[in-house]
Each structure stands twice: as structure tokens, then as C-alpha cells.
């Protein structure tokens, strides 16, 4: 599975702890992350992670592009709901794309744990079928 890992600045430590706790699961999958989050995850977990730009510089949009091409299977995005984000429209667009393309999305540790446990038990395997179909949408639809 292709999994995107994103965290706002005040949530990066939480995401690192979360990924560390479920390292045995995450190491079986292809991981993607926005800039600084990906760097810190690589340094602290030793996982191989494809890194994009930082969120405010377009990383959220790069992950959104993979979602729109049906190449992302899950997004874990630890958001900071108490701090205004200068790139909030990008965040909203990413969340919207997850809804449009039925991509499982966790925005906090509680929902992320449910998704990762489901991933471990095969509850998200339907994404492999969906991705395998190459489901694409055209302007005419």
C-alpha cells in the first residue's frame, strides 16, 4: 500500500511516536511524506520514505496529485486544529480529494490507530483492487 504521512509542526513529534509504535506495519508499505515530516521520520525510524516539498511549498498538493491519479491508498495527516495554517486551502483541498476518491484518511492519533490496525488485518486490501483497475475520471464524466 502507498501511505502518505503528514504532520503540522506541533504534531510532528506525535506522528514520529505513532510510526515508531507501528514500525513493524509501516515497514511493509511504500511511504510518502511532506518535506520536514519525511526527513524527521527517516532520521528517527530508519524507514525509507519518498519525500515531497514541505506542505506550505506544495507538498500537500503533490500528495493530492497522487490521490487524483489513484496512486495513494491511505493518508495519515496529524493536523493541528488550534494553530492557523497559512496553507489551509491546500490542506482543505487534500482532505477533499480523499473524500472524492474514497481514500482512507486519519487526521488524529485515534483514527490513525484504527486505520493502521485495519491495514494490518487486511481491511484496506480493497484499495489494491481499486488501484489495479486504474480507475480514472475524465472531464466528460
9, 60, 73, 90: the active-site residue: 60
Query: Whose grid coordinates read 496553507?
Result: 87
Let me know: does 49 contact 4? Beta carbons within 8 Å.
Answer: no
Q: Is 99 a catalytic residue?
A: no
Contact 38, 66 (CB under 8 A): no
| Residues assigned a catalytic role | 60
Amino acid at each position: 500500500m502507498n501511505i502518505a504521512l503528514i504532520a503540522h509542526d506541533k504534531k510532528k513529534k506525535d506522528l514520529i511516536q505513532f510510526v515508531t509504535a507501528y514500525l513493524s506495519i509501516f515497514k511493509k508499505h511504500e511511504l510518502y511524506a511532506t518535506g520536514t515530516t519525511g526527513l524527521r521520520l527517516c532520521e528517527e525510524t530508519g524507514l525509507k520514505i519518498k519525500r515531497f516539498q514541505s506542505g506550505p511549498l506544495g507538498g500537500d498538493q503533490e500528495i493530492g496529485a497522487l490521490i487524483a491519479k489513484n496512486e495513494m491508498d491511505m493518508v495519515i495527516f496529524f493536523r493541528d486544529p488550534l494553530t492557523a495554517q497559512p496553507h489551509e486551502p491546500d490542506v482543505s483541498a487534500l482532505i477533499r480529494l480523499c473524500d472524492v476518491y474514497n481514500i482512507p484518511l486519519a487526521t488524529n492519533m485515534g483514527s490513525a490507530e484504527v486505520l493502521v490496525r485495519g491495514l494490518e488485518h487486511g481491511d484496506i486490501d480493497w484499495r489494491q483492487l481499486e488501484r489495479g483497475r486504474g480507475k480514472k475520471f475524465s472531464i466528460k464524466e
